[in-house]
Amino acid sequence: MTRSDFNIRLRFRSERASLAKVRAVVRSVLQMEGGFETEDVDDVVLGLHETLTNVTRHAYGGGSGVVDVTMNTGDGRFTARVRDQGPSFDPSVAAEEAEIAPRESGYGLMLVQRTMDRVTWRRRCGGNETRLERSVRPKLKSRRVSAR
């Protein structure tokens, strides 16, 4: 672990009010952590929010269940592990269903995959575990253009 590493563990009920608090915590930590630009922070918060929303809606059917989130930042990288005790989940089937039958909602998995560098799912200890990873995007150098 380097000096800039920051580890957080949150355990909460899967309710809308909890999701707003988690978003606020993650946004604050990333804004204080060096190297995370506004776009990086927005992407990480969106990807984690969509993951947690899916847990609330699908793992617990809109009811209240326990969600365990472990996050780490350091060296320009964000990682998170989200655990729930819902029924088994196969993201490849859900992604195929979203492509076959477009609708107003159901794009959470696509947003998670687009905002993160790597997303993995697995069944573990009678529950689901989702791992999210995102590195800081390299800054593009702006080029000055002058009219002569």
Give the pLDDT confidence of 67-101 residue by residue, as tens digits.
999 999 988 899 999 999 998 877 766 555 555 55
Q: Give the domain extent around 79.
A: 6-135
Buried b (16+ CB within 10 A) or exposed e, 8-20: eebebebbeebbe
Asked if residue 51 is part of any domain, the answer here is yes
- Indicate if the pLDDT at residue 51 is higher than 50: yes
Look at residue 102 in the predicted model and tell me its pLDDT. 55
Q: Would residue 140 count as lying in a domain?
A: no
| Number of C-beta neighbours around residue 95 at 10 A | 14
Helix extents (H) in the chain:
16-32, 38-54, 91-100, 108-115
Of 35 and 147, the one with more pLDDT: 35
- Give me the number of domains the chain comprises: 1
Question: What length does the chain have?
Answer: 148
| 134 pLDDT more than 80 | yes
pLDDT value at residue 144: 53
Residue 141 located in a structural domain: no
Residue 50 CB contacts under 8 Å (≥ 6 apart), including other chains: 108, 109, 111, 112, 115
Q: Is residue 146 in a domain?
A: no
CA separation for the pair 148, 135 (Å, rounded):
40
Share the mean pLDDT of the chain.
83
Q: What is the CATH number of the domain that holds 71?
A: 3.30.565.10
Task: Identify the DSSP state of 55.
Answer: I
Q: Is residue 144 part of a domain?
A: no
Q: Does some domain include residue 147? A: no
